[in-house]
Amino acid sequence: MGKKIFRGLLLLIVVFVLSAGISSLPIAQGENLHKGLGDNNAESGIVDDVNLLNSSEFDEMEELIKDTAEKTDLNVLVILGDMHLGEEGAEEHSYKQYCGIFGEYTDGVLLYLDLAGKSTASDAMYFSGKADLMYQDRHDDMIDSLYIHLPKSGQTIHSLDFMDGITTFCKDIETYEKQYKSNIFKYEKNKIDKTYTYMRGDTLYITKSKAPGARFKVMLIASLAGLIVALVVYFSVKKHYLFKTSTNPSVYVSHGETNFTEKSDTYIRTYTTRHRIQSSSGGSRGGGGGGGGVRSGSGCSRSR
């Protein structure tokens, strides 16, 4: 039983390793759409559509955000918006705003904060390029840290609360950027433009073709499915066609009731008898010569 389990685990490991190895090969990567920072990194900063901040507060936040963008090599933009768009609307608006300012397939983060004053504020955080890999898994943590400082919907809005929230947001960007470790099998799929973002070595790729991690999932699932089908077929055949060894006749004979009889021939004596036959001189054959005696003998044996 232990050997069977070991062989099964070994087979699974082989399937896993082969799938990982094949999927990591640079096969059909497609065009790399990544554009780095793009040409508008200087646009990093804050947009205050509701005039929440006074001039000194605005300058302070502007400087903080630009400094964060420089340290992390990202485009970073915070928008204090005056539109209530709903959750999906806020996400789409953030995407369009980011691409409109910094361009598609660039590296950056955009935070949209809903200050329209509706009962349920709809905020959104959009990640692009390298930021998509670094922060997508941290999205909920970043939102939670931000919301500690922000007022709930319907409460009085104070500029200092939002300044504290933006400061925390910038710190999180720097912290998680330092903690990020690239992994060839990690990828993010953009549902809007149908692209895959992943790292290969030190190079970031944004492609329409599947990322190595996505290919690995497909190959692993297909391999395991094939293995399961093969095992089902094997045990099904084994159940209907039992494999037997050659028949042993001793299984059907009782050793206690078996007697063997041996027969043999024993030679007691061997002898030979000789008789002399006298020849006759009275006859003759025409055309023939003289005659001579003929000697014959016979032997016999007797068994007891």
Which tokens in the block code for residue 127?
């990640």
Query: Is 6 among the domain residues?
Result: no
CA distance 59 to 225: 59
Query: Is 102 among the domain residues?
Result: yes
**Which residue from 232, 302, 225, 227 is spatially nearest to 268, judged by alpha carbons?**
302
Which tokens in the block code for residue 224?
């395991």
What is the per-residue pLDDT across 76-126, written as a single tens digit (0 to 9) for each?
A: 999 999 999 998 899 999 999 999 999 999 999 999 999 998 878 899 999
Query: Is 266 among the domain residues?
Result: no
Contact at 8 Å (CB) between 154 and 116?
no
- Judged on CB neighbours under 10 Å (0-12, 13-18, 19+), 236 is exposed
Query: Is 49 among the domain residues?
Result: yes
Angle at 279 between CA 275 and CA 285, to 5 degrees: 140
| CATH assignment of the domain containing 47 | 3.10.310.50
The 3-state DSSP class for residue 179 equals helix
What is the per-residue pLDDT across 216-258, written as a single tens digit (0 to 9) for each?
A: 555 556 656 666 766 666 666 666 665 555 666 665 666 666 6
Query: Strand ranges (DSSP E) for the chain?
Result: 45-48, 75-81, 108-114, 124-128, 187-190, 195-200, 203-207, 267-274, 297-303
| Domain extent for 57 | 37-182
Contact at 8 Å (CB) between 86 and 23?
no
Contact at 8 Å (CB) between 30 and 198?
no
Query: Is 101 among the domain residues?
Result: yes
Least confident of 15-19, 54-58, 204-208, 265-269: 15-19
Model pTM score? 0.64
What is the per-residue pLDDT across 163-196, written as a single tens digit (0 to 9) for each?
A: 999 999 999 999 999 999 887 677 788 877 788 8
Query: Is 84 among the domain residues?
Result: yes
CA–CA distance from 132 to each of 3, 31, 144, 194, 221 (Å)? Answer: 45, 19, 18, 14, 26
Q: Is the pLDDT of residue 199 over 70?
A: yes
pLDDT bin (cut points 50, 70, 90) of residue 73 is very high
Give the pLDDT of residue 192: 74
What is the per-residue pLDDT across 28-52, written as a single tens digit (0 to 9) for each?
A: 567 899 999 999 999 999 999 999 9
Query: Is 81 among the domain residues?
Result: yes
* Number of separate domains in the chain: 1
**Which residue from 58, 72, 95 is spatially nearest to 171, judged by alpha carbons?**
72
Query: Is 65 among the domain residues?
Result: yes
The 3-state DSSP class for residue 204 equals strand
